[in-house]
Amino acid sequence: MKKLWNVSLAAALLVGGVSVYAEDDEMEHARPMQSKPLSKQDQSAAALYKKECSACHMAYQPEFLPKRSWDKTMKGLDNHFGTDATMDTVDSNTVQNYLMTYASKNDRITDMRGAVALRISQTPHFVKEHRKISKKMITQPAVKSIANCNACHTKAEVGSYREREINIPNYGRWE
């Protein structure tokens, strides 16, 4: 009887542990990014990053990619996906330091081929999360590209990607 009790207790703990882990994992993607307060210097750097990068696309949260990805991106601004996005040296260094400070600690983030990830939209997690989105939802004029997070994620700019905050233009809420 004692052995049966121990097995039952172990099974309950295992199931409970898996359940807690699943909730934590789910919350990891729901929690707004960069939840710790920024110093005045980092606020200034974040504002510069947003100003420079959101001139062409959403200023993605640094936590989406690891340091090596941001380093490669910043070193290739002269040909940033076919566009010259160079900045003066001081601004470039400021943005790079900001990105390095807040980059993902997960250095194993790669693209789908296993190379250094430069496009967030080609990371395995991103691809998995968007696998059910049809091409017509993405290519419509109101969205244009899978990389246009703000089009569907109503709070993407503040780092919140909760499913209940998704509203796909011309299709409605994501259920």
Q: What is the pLDDT along the chain (175 residues), one digit of tens a residue?
A: 545 444 444 443 334 433 222 333 333 443 445 556 889 999 999 999 999 999 889 999 999 999 999 999 999 999 999 999 999 999 999 999 999 999 999 999 999 999 999 999 999 999 999 999 999 999 999 999 999 999 999 999 999 999 999 999 999 998 7
For residue 68, give every residue at least 6 positions away whose Cβ sits within 8 Å of its Cβ, in sequence order, or none.
107, 116
Q: Torsions phi, psi of 75, nearest 5?
A: -75, -15
Q: Which segments of 76-129 does DSSP mark as H helices, in order?
A: 89-102, 124-129
Alpha carbon distance 79, 24 (integer Å):
39
Neighbour count for residue 165 (Cβ, 10 Å)? 15
Measuring CA to CA, how many Å separate 142 from each of 136, 147, 151, 161? Answer: 11, 13, 7, 19
Q: Torsions phi, psi of 119, nearest 5?
A: -105, 115
Q: CA dihedral defined by 151, 80, 117, 123, rounded to 10 degrees? A: 20
State the pLDDT at residue 35. Answer: 56
Neighbour count for residue 30 (Cβ, 10 Å)? 13
State the pLDDT at residue 37. Answer: 81
State the pLDDT at residue 175. Answer: 77
State the pLDDT at residue 21. Answer: 28
State the pLDDT at residue 15. Answer: 41
Amino acid letter, residue 60: Y
State the pLDDT at residue 99. Answer: 97
State the pLDDT at residue 135. Answer: 95
State the pLDDT at residue 141. Answer: 96
